[in-house]
Amino acid sequence: MAIKAIDLRRYEARAKIAKAMAHPSRLLMLDLLQKKSHTVTELTAIVGADQSTVSKHLSILRDVGLVDVRREGAMSYYQLKCACLDGFFSCIETVLMADLACRRDALK
């Protein structure tokens, strides 16, 4: 039985989005932005990293269409562009909890 190689292109675009989310600081920011929009300064204080670092993280989220910017004077208000993070987080959460339970069992 000949197994055909599948075209990976379909998954590349999706992986790019997943990759943008796959960083602790960016996950935190996405989580924060679920509640309300924030400025770079606010996010910088909360994340506790360099301002330039946070700005770059935000541009990564922006590039894949996860967040949006609204400029007001000198400040940039970042806001979530999709209301779909619940599914994402709950999936991650499920995996995490299952894994913790598994490790707990292994200690018995």
Partner DNA sequence: TGCCAATATGGCGATATGGCCATTAAAGCA
Partner DNA sequence: TGCTTTAATGGCCATATCGCCATATTGGCA
Instruction: Summarize as ranges the residues that interact with DNA (CB under 7 A).
Output: 19, 22-23, 25, 39-41, 44, 49-53, 55-60, 69, 73-77
Q: How far is the CB of 34 from its own copies (least distance, A)?
A: 12
13 binds its own copies (CB under 8 A): yes
Sequence-distant (6+) residues with CB within 8 A of 75 are 39, 40, 41
d(CA 48, CA 42): 10
Q: How far is the CB of 67 from its own copies (least distance, A)?
A: 10
What are the residue ranges of helices labelled H in the chain? 9-21, 24-35, 40-47, 51-63, 85-107
75 binds its own copies (CB under 8 A): no
Identify the H or E element spanning 50: none
Sequence-distant (6+) residues with CB within 8 A of 64 are 16, 17, 20
18 binds its own copies (CB under 8 A): yes
Among 34, 36, 45, 75, binds its own copies (CB under 8 A): 45
Query: What residues line the site for its own copies (CB under 8 A)?
Result: 3-6, 8, 11-15, 17-19, 21-28, 31, 42, 45-48, 64-66, 81-82, 84-96, 98-99, 102
